Amino acid sequence: MTGTEKAAEHRPEGSPESLIKVSALREGTVIDHLVAGTALKVLSVLGMRFDGAVMVGLNLDSRKAGRKDIIKIERRELTPAEVARIALISPRATFSIIRDFKVVRKFTPELPDVVEGLVRCPNPSCISNATWVASKFTVLRADPLRVRCRYCERSLKKEEIELL
Amino acid sequence: MTGTEKAAEHRPEGSPESLIKVSALREGTVIDHLVAGTALKVLSVLGMRFDGAVMVGLNLDSRKAGRKDIIKIERRELTPAEVARIALISPRATFSIIRDFKVVRKFTPELPDVVEGLVRCPNPSCISNATWVASKFTVLRADPLRVRCRYCERSLKKEEIELL
């Protein structure tokens, strides 16, 4: 199993710290305070196509929430639709937009009263599952999330929600 | 979309740098020099169950390989079977075992000549797809990976390989 193996008495450049050191973000987005365990779902919402570097922290210690996830994306700012999807996954996430190494904007999105085209209705006979109809849900509560389909009135808890 | 929003003139604790700062790894494993784009597949090989923090870097600049991924896992050392699976995904990955903030062992795994129970044979009539038979492949070449089924002789390129 072991090919090349080295002792580690002298590693001036290779401490655990330096192995994980990353440069500061010049331009991009930091999504902080994600509910622990949701970062990979958020990455999939973002389509997993990234030109620049992406750093993901899972299960990190957080003063606010015990454990949290964090994502830092180089050279990318998010669309309002992407922010809304992420807010559905993790309602207390904070977004920081970085330009030239500075936080130029920081915000916590508020969920809109109605979300359109973002959530799949699990009711197979609901009209919103027809390809020509955009799903539409009323947000009943943000955290824990609860939504209700505007077509068939089915109400969904957070764990029942499947994003489109 | 924007709930709370703050200007960022004074952020002594909140520079982009500090937003992503993570503590050094006391105990755990660093998997470095992963082929860019493979880190999330590696996480899924590891079962996505983590007690401690996990840091993932995607698409990072690398002097050796242009772009690379890196994974740092707190409080976990990998089994030989996990290391072998990761070597199949990313043959030049390096593994560093950290204890008490020090690299106590660093290695690049060599693929064995034969891998057992790790790769699914895509030939539907191959006997290795029977539940009571463990798949067995000869490693013809490590990078780019090429393997051949010991039962039906089908030869697979890297992109055709599906891990079990």
Search chain B and give the residue with CA nearest A18. Answer: B24
Cβ proximity of A122 and A137 under 8 Å: no
Residues of A in contact with B69 (CB under 8 A): none
d(Cα A60, Cα B25) in Å, to the nearest integer?
Answer: 12
CA B1 from centre of chain: 37
Residue B19 or residue A50, greater confidence: A50
Check whether A29 has a pLDDT greater than 90.
Answer: yes
Search chain B and give the residue with CA nearest A107. Answer: B5
Search chain A and give the residue with CA nearest B91. Answer: A3
pLDDT digits (tens, 9 = 90+) for B69-107: 999 999 988 988 889 889 988 888 999 999 998 999 999
| Pairing label, strands A114-116, A66-74 | unpaired
Taking residues B106-121, what's their average pLDDT? 89
pLDDT of A7 reads 37
Across A4-13, A46-55, A81-90, B148-157, least confident range: A4-13
Strand segments (E) across B7-161: 28-35, 54-62, 66-74, 94-99, 102-109, 114-116, 119-120, 136-142, 145-149, 155-157
Taking residues A98-127, what's their average pLDDT? 90
d(Cα A100, Cα A73) in Å, to the nearest integer?
Answer: 14
The residues facing B4 across adjacent strands are A108
The residues facing A55 across adjacent strands are A72, B57
Test mutation, A5, A29, A40, A55, chain B, max B CBs within 10 A: A55
Test mutation, B30, B54, B64, B85, chain A, max A CBs within 10 A: B54
Q: Which helix (H) or strand (E) holds B9?
A: none
A8, B102: Cβ pair inside 8 Å?
yes
A25, B22: Cβ pair inside 8 Å?
no
Residue A36 or residue B131, greater confidence: A36
Check whether B134 has a pLDDT greater than 70.
Answer: yes
d(Cα A63, Cα A10) in Å, to the nearest integer?
Answer: 35
A55, B20: Cβ pair inside 8 Å?
yes
CA angle A54, A33, A86 (to 5 degrees): 70
Search chain A and give the residue with CA nearest B112. Answer: A1
| Pairing label, strands B114-116, B136-142 | antiparallel
B25, A22: Cβ pair inside 8 Å?
no
Q: How far is CA B67 from CA A82, B32, B42, B114, B143, in A?
A: 26, 11, 16, 29, 17
A83, B15: Cβ pair inside 8 Å?
no
Residues 6 or more apart in contact with residue A145 via CB below 8 angstroms: A88, A91, A111, A139, A157, A158, A161
Nearest to A46 by CA among A92, A23, A77, A22: A77
pLDDT of B23 reads 55
Nearest-Cα distance to chain B for A122, in Å, is 26
Residues of A in contact with B82 (CB under 8 A): none
For A104, half-sphere exposure in the C-beta direction (CA atoms, 13 angstrom radius) is 11
pLDDT digits (tens, 9 = 90+) for B9-28: 334 344 444 344 445 788 99
Instruction: Report the complex ipTM.
Output: 0.72
Q: What is the mean pLDDT of chain B?
A: 82
